[in-house]
Amino acid sequence: MKASFYLALSGHYRQAIIIQRCVFENFLYGMYFFAEHNKFSEGDEDKNEVNSKFRSWLSGGFRKSDAYLREIIRKAGFISKQENDEWANLFNELSQFVHTILQTPTGRAIKYANFEIKSCYSLVIFDRNSLMEWSNYYQKVFFIILYQLIRLFPVVKTTEAGKLALRILRNDFRDIRKKHENPYLERISRMRIRKTA
């Protein structure tokens, strides 16, 4: 997330959004392995198999489509059908920046005098619209991850750091919730800090 932020503020918007796609994909794998280990493993043998898949994934050997990962996450009860659809749309949008051809919205031509360069993604352009596009994706990915982590591990809300983070989020984003229309931001801002029993 830090690298994406740095690249965006340096004018490398496409590369900054590609990082968001990587972050979101890694998050999907994390949710998948959490679901397999905690919801679908019935004994030590199943858990060992999940751990073996996880080690294989770390070395680049275990690969699944985003649709498969989301389906397992949904079956585990971690997301609704609507969230599954939202996540699919977000993943597809972010993927356009990874698999870019000139006919896609992210393929940009550079014009100078009588010359036109059809594709040059290393060019640094400080462009407000591109920055806002990156910011939109950054917020979506950030709030999805934050919301799911707080929901799956509510104990975080009882720590001093968790209480402070929720307080800051509620205060800083209270006035801009409607402007951003991000359902995950809305849910986070309504979360209560609860004491554990």
Query: For all residues of the chain together, what is the average pLDDT?
Result: 82
pLDDT classification of 158: cutoffs 50, 70, 90:
confident
Do 151 and 73 contact (CB within 8 A), yes or no? no
Domain residue extents for the chain? 2-152
Give tens-digit pLDDT for 162-190.
888 888 777 776 665 555 667 777 777 66
Please give the pLDDT value at position 105: 47
> What is the pLDDT, as a whole number, of residue 144?
92
Between 147 and 180, residue with greater pLDDT: 147
- For residue 102, how many other CB atoms are within 10 A of its CB? 10
Given this model, what pLDDT does residue 195 score? Answer: 47
Between these two residues, 22 and 157, which has the higher pLDDT value? 22
Amino acid making up residue 165: A
Residue 97 has pLDDT above 70, yes or no: yes
Give CA–CA dist 141/20, Å, rounded. Answer: 7
The mean pLDDT value for 36-49 works out to 93
DSSP output for the chain: -HHHHHHHHTT-HHHHHHHHHHHHHHHHHHHHHHHIIIII--SHHHHHHHHHHHHHHHTT-----HHHHHHHHHHTTSS-HHHHHHHHHHHHHHHHHHS--TTSTT---EEETTEEES--TT-----HHHHHHHHHHHHHHHHHHHHHHHHH-GGGGGSHHHHHHHHHHHHHHTTTHHHHT-HHHHHHHH-------
So what's the pLDDT on residue 46? 93
pLDDT of residue 3: 93
pLDDT of residue 157: 83
Two tokens, residue 73 = 């996450």
Residue with the larger pLDDT of the pair 195 and 92: 92
Token representation of residue 146? 């934050």
**Is residue 69 classed exposed, middle or buried when 0-12, 13-18 and 19+ CB atoms within 10 A define those classes?**
buried
Q: Name residue 115's amino acid.
A: F
Average pLDDT over residues 81-88: 95
